[in-house]
Amino acid sequence: MIWQIDLAILTLVVITAGGALMVKDLLGAAILFGAYSFMMCALWSIMGAVDVAFTEASVGAGVSAVFFVAAVFRTTRRTKD
């Protein structure tokens, strides 16, 4: 496993996770969560866990992000923290 790619994707994972928790717009948090999920899927593909990566790509970056956007649409989009 090439450690340069590993370190680069891990950095992206930490950045998107921090971003999803700190933005003040809930729709942006939902989309950043979808990006975080997709970076996790790439990380697991590199580690060789292909089944887990497939599931995370379809469930996390697909259906989970849609659920978040649907819930934000039904409640409110702004937040103070």
Smallest separation (angstroms) from other proteins to the CB of 47:
5
In angstroms, the CA 3 to CA 25 distance is 34
Query: Are 46 and 7 spatial neighbours (Cβ–Cβ below 8 Å)?
Result: no
Closest CA to 37 of 67, 15, 65: 65
Residue selected from 5, 20, 35, 38 as contacting other proteins according to rule CB under 8 A: 20
Smallest separation (angstroms) from other proteins to the CB of 27:
10
Residue 31 interacting with other proteins (CB under 8 A):
no
SS3 22: helix
| 33 CA to centre of own chain | 4
Residues that bind other proteins (CB under 8 A): 1, 6-7, 10, 13-14, 17-18, 20-21, 26, 29-30, 33, 36-37, 40, 43-44, 47-56, 58-60, 62-64, 66-76, 79-81
